[in-house]
Amino acid sequence: MSYHSGLIQQAAAVTIMADVTLQRPEGAAEDWSIPQQWERYSPAEHALWDHLFERQAGMLPERVVPEFMDGLKLLRMTRPGIPHFDELSERLMKATGWQVIAVPGLVPEHVFFEHLANRRFVAGRFIRSPEQRDYLQEPDVFHDVFGHVPLLANPVFADYMQAYGRGGLRAHGFGSLTSLARLYWYTVEFGLIRQGDALKLYGAGIVSSYGESVFALDDSSPNRLGFDLARVMRTHYRIDDFQQTYFVIDSFEDLLRQTIETDFAPLYARLRNEAELSSDAVLPGDRIYTRGTQAYARARAIK
């Protein structure tokens, strides 16, 4: 079994950590949106999408939360070729009131939050080169659309994403974007969910990565810990490789409820006085599904 470096995830975080002084590229609208220009994709680019799609869709049904597969079908993403954002938006709009819009790459965090708060998901329109099949520094259309969009068709997850965007807009005044970025990272990008006795994938950074789709569930190296909002917001994460810890939510409903019911202002104040936690930490109060050996991380560190 071979694992690939998980750099596809790196820019997922950068999207929300981006410097507010980013210059809006020429041709981008005030909200940083650009036309997808679907007709410009080459046959080779569509074929690369199909290859990546087949590879993930072949292995995910046993591993991913069923709501993800439902979303793929509902949005008719099982058809060949890079999806047309307008068509996706039309179907998403009917399901949950969300849209997908293209952006030129990184966007300032307030732009990102503003879009989420208004139920618009921003996606890169370019697709990786064949050489970058498993290694990518900026989220491309496959990560953004295959990874993120199917769950936006789920009403509860769709509400969570909007609640997160609203939280981001509010967090601006608190200087707490790092804590909030960790919440995004450990849920939207790298979240696991418990269903019955099994753990399933739902984070976009995992489900769009062949290697991490296996590693996150099967490998003995990472910790798998019960989700705790305040704890997650203190925890560092890996931007250059597979995660050392995954957090497991009980349900999308519970994640949404915790996000809506938490009063973030006092939480941010409290977090400022608490020590940050390393990406492999296990605390006495953690709900432990797996205490990882961290063998993978250690082996990578000495290379």
For residue 111, what are the CA distances in angstroms to 31, 164, 229, 260? 7, 13, 24, 21
Residues 77-96 that bind Fe ion (CB under 5 A): none
Contacts of 90 (CB under 8 A, 6+ apart): none
Mark 203-242 with x for binding to Fe ion (rule: CB under 5 A) and - for no binding: -x--------------------------------------
**Using rule CB under 5 A, residue 11 touches Fe ion:** no
Burial of 34 (0-12, 13-18, 19+ CB in 10 A): middle
**Using rule CB under 5 A, residue 18 touches Fe ion:** no
Residue 4: phi, psi to the nearest 5?
Answer: -115, 145
Q: Which residue lies nearest Fe ion, judged by its C-beta?
A: 12
* Stretch of 17-25, 109-117, 200-208, 210-218 lying at the interface with Fe ion (CB under 5 A): 200-208
Answer yes or no: are the C-beta atoms of 283 and 190 closer than 8 Å.
Answer: no
How many residues at the interface with Fe ion, by CB under 5 A? 2
**Using rule CB under 5 A, residue 12 touches Fe ion:** yes
Give the nearer residue to Fe ion in terms of CB position, either 12 or 75. 12
Burial of 110 (0-12, 13-18, 19+ CB in 10 A): middle
Contacts of 13 (CB under 8 A, 6+ apart): 181, 184, 185, 189, 237, 239
Least spacing, CB of residue 288 vs Fe ion, in Å: 27
Least spacing, CB of residue 287 vs Fe ion, in Å: 26
* Stretch of 16-24, 78-86, 198-206, 230-238 lying at the interface with Fe ion (CB under 5 A): 198-206
Give the nearer residue to Fe ion in terms of CB position, either 112 or 215. 112
Give the nearer residue to Fe ion in terms of CB position, either 147 or 222. 147
Judging by DSSP bridges, how do beta strands 288-290 and 223-226 pair with one another?
antiparallel
Give the nearer residue to Fe ion in terms of CB position, either 183 or 271. 183
Least spacing, CB of residue 13 vs Fe ion, in Å: 8
Give the nearer residue to Fe ion in terms of CB position, either 12 or 177. 12
Least spacing, CB of residue 299 vs Fe ion, in Å: 26
Least spacing, CB of residue 274 vs Fe ion, in Å: 27
* Stretch of 104-112, 196-204, 252-260, 281-289 lying at the interface with Fe ion (CB under 5 A): 196-204
Q: Which helix (H) or strand (E) holds 120?
A: strand 120-124
Least spacing, CB of residue 148 vs Fe ion, in Å: 6
Give the nearer residue to Fe ion in terms of CB position, either 123 or 193. 123
Q: What dihedral do alpha carbons 237, 240, 244, 246 form, nearest 10°?
A: 60
| Token pair belonging to 286 | 């953690």
* Stretch of 87-95, 99-107, 152-160, 201-209 lying at the interface with Fe ion (CB under 5 A): 201-209
26-30's contacts with Cβ under 8 Å and 24+ in sequence apart are 27/104, 28/103, 28/104
Give the nearer residue to Fe ion in terms of CB position, either 240 or 274. 240
In angstroms, the CA 18 to CA 62 distance is 35
Judging by DSSP bridges, how do beta strands 192-195 and 99-103 pair with one another?
unpaired
Contact residues for Fe ion, defined by CB under 5 A = 12, 204
